[in-house]
Amino acid sequence: AQSVTQPDIHITVSEGASLELRCNYSYGATPYLFWYVQSPGQGLQLLLKYFSGDTLVQGIKGFEAEFKRSQSSFNLRKPSVHWSDAAEYFCAVGTGGGNKLTFGTGTQLKVEL
Amino acid sequence: GAVVSQHPSWVICKSGTSVKIECRSLDFQATTMFWYRQFPKQSLMLMATSNEGSKATYEQGVEKDKFLINHASLTLSTLTVTSAHPEDSSFYICSAVSGVGTDTQYFGPGTRLTVL
């Protein structure tokens, strides 16, 4: 069965600093990988996704993620964090054609001004 | 962009009563909708997958008689929590995809259920 691990429950960064959120997955086949952001009162928003091809994926809001098969990782990065990036971030692996999502436990990002 | 709404956004009910939660795709037709449950400080757990006009497929461990799902149209799916108990208190989230083979799920804002 597939699984997703997000080792960092909470991360605090200063505004303007770089950010990396870690995600490791376990899945027997080529994974469909997603990063979502959840803000209070709003639905999960898709930041980016990886299905195949270029292992460096660009997303919305200046985020990017790199798929590393050898490390079973799909870490999310942003070169300069804005205060509005404070939210909960979820990594997910999709099976069944990508639709059936298994989520990690999330990383709560706090941004210090 | 694709918008999914949920109603109500929060509900409080007495133990033993039933509660219905609606999930609507506002600007697209959703062939498939998903229902998730999220406990505080935890991840989203897929409860069931519903396709328009057919019976929902429930994940292992989810009681289909407790959580009734109906996907009667391409824009509406409902989740009814029957005979609710305090342990059913949770955050329920729906998502929708717009076509067969489409990979991107659009999520609703969630419904907070509190059972007293």
Q: How distant is the Cα of A53 from the closest Cα of chain B, in angstroms?
A: 16
The span from the CA of B56 to the CA of B88, in Å, is 19
Q: Average per-residue pLDDT in chain A?
A: 93
pLDDT for B53 equals: 82
Q: What is the token pair recorded at B46?
A: 């897929």
Chain B, residues 67-106, CB within 8 A of chain A, namely: 93, 95, 97, 101-106
Backbone angles phi, psi at B87, to 5 degrees: -70, -10
**For the segment B59-109, what is each residue's pLDDT rounded down to a tens digit?**
999 999 999 999 888 999 999 999 999 999 999 999 998 765 556 889 999
**Pairing relationship of beta strands A64-68 and B67-73 according to DSSP bridges:** unpaired
| Arithmetic mean of pLDDT, B1-9 | 90
- Residue predicted with more confidence, A84 or A96: A84
Chain B contact for A2, CB < 8 A?
no
- Chain A residues whose CB is inside 8 A of the B95 CB are 43-44
Q: How distant is the Cα of A39 from the closest Cα of chain B, in angstroms?
A: 9
**For the segment B47-58, what is each residue's pLDDT rounded down to a tens digit?**
999 988 888 999
In DSSP terms, B107 is beta-bridged to B95
